[in-house]
Amino acid sequence: MRPSGRQTNEMRPVTIETGVTMHAEGSCLIKCGNTHVLCTATVDEKLPPFMKNSGLGWVTAEYGMLPRATNTRMRREAKNGQSGRTQEIQRLIGRSLRAGVDRVALGERQIVVDCDVIQADGGTRCASITGGWVALKLAVQKLMKAGVVISDPLVDPVAAISCGIYAGQEVLDLDYPEDSEAGVDGNFVMTGGKLIEVQMSAEGSVFSRAQMDGLLNLAEKGVSELKAAQMAAVN
């Protein structure tokens, strides 16, 4: 039995509220159960130096957590620098979002997606990718309305979900009580029915290819539900 009483293939309720800040070109507050992430997209007409004159656009991401987003207060990263975990997560978000962008169509500009966790209950990196895509899409819609981008560079949503083996069972969308106990867990990023990233990790444990297939099946189910929520939010 899962602590939340959910079925093994049952996601937490997902809501995506858009337009939540007055300044950003695109923004949303995504809630996956008790995990709440504020995502904003900032359009910058200057490319980073390594992309200058490439004819391509760029999308990057940054990730943070408010100190008391978690059950025990964490030290503020502004005082101590970004942890390795934080850097790893924001690199994942950036790679994932870029995989769903037609960078020629975006043109020579950069979009920075900020994902800040307001409240954490497991799955913050997946919620950041899913919500980050919505913020990105809203910013691009604004560029298209303004006529500076002509052809839509974002065709299919990019979404991510975690799965893992909890108490011997393959389960979808781990919350924190499950995540902290699971010997095996993974994050799956998908778009258009295809995979972008698979990150499976066993802490003090191992897993078989059959289990991996089971988790991939769950992930496909989850991502298709997230896609529906994303499409509803941006239309």
* Residues that bind its own copies in the complex, under the rule CB under 8 A: 21-24, 27, 34, 38, 40, 42, 44, 62, 64, 66-71, 73, 76-79, 81-82, 84-88, 90-91, 95, 98-99, 103, 112, 114, 116, 118-119, 121, 186, 191-192, 194-209, 212, 216
Q: Which two tokens stand for residue 114?
A: 């900020």
In the complex, least distance from residue 125 CB atom to its own copies, rounded to whole angstroms: 13
Nearer to its own copies, 87 or 151 (CB): 87
What's the chain's Rg over C-alpha atoms? 18
Nearer to its own copies, 173 or 175 (CB): 175
**SS3 label, residue 132:** helix
Among 225, 199, 178, CA closest to 8: 178
- Within a 13 Å sphere around the CA of 213, how many CA atoms are in the beta-carbon half? 3
Tokens 């604004």 locate to 142
In the complex, least distance from residue 198 CB atom to its own copies, rounded to whole angstroms: 4
In the complex, least distance from residue 41 CB atom to its own copies, rounded to whole angstroms: 8
Q: Are the CB atoms for 41 and 25 separated by under 8 Å?
A: yes
In the complex, least distance from residue 50 CB atom to its own copies, rounded to whole angstroms: 13
Nearer to its own copies, 102 or 232 (CB): 102
Residues 150/151/153/158 CA torsion (nearest 10 deg): 120
**SS3 label, residue 42:** strand
**SS3 label, residue 119:** strand
Q: Tell me the C-alpha distance between 10 and 2, whole Å.
A: 10
In the complex, least distance from residue 40 CB atom to its own copies, rounded to whole angstroms: 4
Binding residues for phosphate: 85, 123-125
Nearer to its own copies, 169 or 193 (CB): 193
Q: Tell me the C-alpha distance between 51 and 104, whole Å.
A: 12
Nearer to its own copies, 11 or 29 (CB): 29
